[in-house]
Structure 1
């Protein structure tokens, strides 16, 4: 590996040729280095960097560059800025058909944070300190005059999970740059001190319904045309997108009461999807605000057992749906969906959430999200003695550790009951004593 330094100025000799060793105090110094041959093309690579005020500065930079080459950590970012790379990375994600909501979150973080803060920098110049400073600003208390969010809530500061999500975005983008050998290391990896650690207080435990609350809700919604949807949410723990994308062909025969999650229906805007993505896999048309697609993870594509009450609710629902089908006749737009609009077209998932919240308030129950009914389903399975590994597969988590983290409060409750039951094996042999 060889390199040299030279001075750039406009001085010329009597023959009009550029003076190579001008001693006048003007111009700038540069260096050039032989970086070997490009692996793809086999062509020789010569890298030139300029703008140094003195010869010593250029020689120091050249030495550092040669050290990287000798150590095998040298990369060429081709003068790419962080902003340009983030734009290219997002485009590649869309082309690779990554999950729509994932790309939307990445795009939001890039637009609101990473491009404004680091977009002007070259990729090779980004250091861990730059990432730390941006995340520290995100974790700081918010200005009281800040406009409210899109759902009307005002927050005083972002949660650790929110700040971590911004870090995950830049980490994923730089990981892709690392794979393309545009950078030598990913400065967003590892523990970042600027991200506050999540609080461990029990005050953050989710609001949960007791079994009698869930039973009361299910009786209240019995007259609703989507009552079977709420039954499946309560007994099977399906996500909203999975409920809205369930098809009759995904439900097993009576010999094996269960269903297989193969399709989801998520809420989207037109800006979030390409025309190709928006096309319905069943009818080929575009359903505004809805996107039918397979589950984004392998764990999401799973078999889920169905309890007898859920099967009975589905049987009632099928009879009612057949009446709607007969009413619409040839105008019925059959998508084979279990839960759909009266004309057969897919439901709007956001509307399902609105109707669920209206029913909850009408019942006078503690307000929870539709997604929180999964907690109740998990609690029932744990209380019934279903192993945590099986619960994980039914709920579609990536692994048992995810289930343990999300439902640790339920595990404490069920563990306490089991320990109390086990302790009776000993205490029943001891004499009863009066309390002092």
Structure 2
């Protein structure tokens, strides 16, 4: 009798008991390289760290913290996402004040004109350093810039600088219970402050010190340029009549006819002027070195040209000759007959002044110098303009408005905008059209009258 042995499967092993909760490891799983680390600090907050690319092409350990584990995780995730998107972190630990000092000295000063450097210095000293100077360059965010611009825009200058408190008789905020006079910065000045910060950060991006320009992310209202600042033809003629007895009559002629800036006029030299003698005098015509040639007897000029190659500016308390505002400002302008004759008379008058002032005359070759040949103080021109303006009955009109008048009248006469731009020395034709091409009420009435004739 055979015996069959039944085989039973092995009974399942008893599962291993889990370790008590208190014996579990408190640390989270080990993260792979590049995922970063989150840990709890002694103060109860949660820290995180990760190695991410820098603007210098190296890796840098970046640390931070959050009040909760979730907050730390979100910050770490954002940091790693930026690294994945190719946005590096700053390789430098400069403050904004330190970088602005470097930028001003090594980037701005060698490349920009002294007047521009002086303007940048003022903005940095008065606004950027007091408000943002201690901020780490790599941690400067768009919200910091936006908050800064809001503070600057809303801050009363009288209160900030104690203007009213310094008065003999306070008028506003220094009075007990007095009200703020709300002396605010202009929109143009706020835009300039933002522009300086934006330009500095753009240089930092180019030098790979910061990954992006956060100032570009903040919009600042553009200033509204005033229009209708040009004179009418009758007003322009009134200016020239009022200036007939002024020693600077020719200066006003050039300002109105050629649209030269004040600094360009005061920096103009006789070497920059080329004359064309009157054909009626020499029979052929041609260029000569001055209006006092024997053939023309000092007055017989038909025209000529002048080159704008330098401008006179006051920088740091001293008068300096500097290059024009832009490359387009360096230009050659034809001299119409009216301007050439006026300059010839001015040259003859200047020779008499030089003889009378000798030996105190200091020759600088300037077309419009002081009475002793030295560069003219802009304040002296301002006083001369004040007399002319009053005599012409044009109170409130600025000297610079004569430049606007030249451009506006040329456009009104149908001169092509690109030709007007070259005469004025604008770098962009949009400036010519946007700021200067104003339309008078009479022109609007005439235009609408034509439309009415067609429709009627």
Please report the TM-score for the alignment, with normalisation by the length of structure 1.
Answer: 0.75
Cα displacement (A) at 1:130: 1.1
Picking from 195, 198, 208, the partner of 1:181 is 208
- In structure 2, relative to structure 1, the CA distance for the partners of 1:423 and 1:32 (3 Å cut) is closer
User: Paired residue for 2:269?
Assistant: 247
Report the Cα distance in structure 2 between the residues aligned to 1:171 and 1:36, rounded to whole angstroms.
21
User: Paired residue for 1:259?
Assistant: 306
Report the Cα distance in structure 2 between the residues aligned to 1:37 and 1:74, rounded to whole angstroms.
5
Picking from 155, 171, 176, the partner of 2:198 is 171
Aligned residue runs from structure 1 range 15-414, under 5 A: 31=49, 33=51, 35=53, 45=58, 47-49=60-62, 52=65, 64-140=78-154, 142=156, 145=159, 156-190=183-217, 192=219, 195-196=220-221, 204-254=226-276, 257-270=304-317, 289-329=318-358, 331-410=360-439
The secondary structure found in structure 2 opposite 1:257 is strand
8 Å CA contact 2:230, 2:408 repeated in 1:
no
- In structure 2, relative to structure 1, the CA distance for the partners of 1:132 and 1:385 (3 Å cut) is same
8 Å CA contact 2:328, 2:422 repeated in 1:
yes
Number of aligned pairs? Answer: 382
Report the Cα distance in structure 2 between the residues aligned to 1:383 and 1:188, rounded to whole angstroms.
40
The secondary structure found in structure 1 opposite 2:210 is coil
Which structure has the larger Rg? Answer: 2
Report the Cα distance in structure 2 between the residues aligned to 1:144 and 1:95, rounded to whole angstroms.
31
String of CA shifts for 1:174-231, please: whole Å, max 9, x gaps. 1011111111111111562xx446569xxx5454432222222222222222111111
Q: Which region of structure 1 is more displaced relative to structure 2, 57-66 or 214-223?
A: 57-66
Cα displacement (A) at 1:365: 2.3
8 Å CA contact 1:266, 1:292 repeated in 2:
yes
- In structure 2, relative to structure 1, the CA distance for the partners of 1:182 and 1:402 (3 Å cut) is same
Please report the TM-score for the alignment, with normalisation by the length of structure 2.
Answer: 0.72
Query: What value does the CA root-mean-square deviation take over the aligned residues?
Result: 3.7
Cα displacement (A) at 1:351: 2.6
Query: Tell me, which stretches of 5 or more residues in structure 2 are unaligned?
Result: 1-32, 168-180, 277-285, 287-302
The secondary structure found in structure 1 opposite 2:327 is coil
8 Å CA contact 1:228, 1:310 repeated in 2:
yes
Cα displacement (A) at 1:136: 1.5
8 Å CA contact 1:81, 1:120 repeated in 2:
yes
Cα displacement (A) at 1:4: 6.2
Report the Cα distance in structure 1 between the residues aligned to 2:207 and 2:409, rounded to whole angstroms.
48
- In structure 2, relative to structure 1, the CA distance for the partners of 1:385 and 1:62 (3 Å cut) is closer
Report the Cα distance in structure 2 between the residues aligned to 1:402 and 1:131, rounded to whole angstroms.
28
Cα displacement (A) at 1:420: 7.6
- In structure 2, relative to structure 1, the CA distance for the partners of 1:413 and 1:260 (3 Å cut) is farther
Report the Cα distance in structure 2 between the residues aligned to 1:258 and 1:175, rounded to whole angstroms.
41
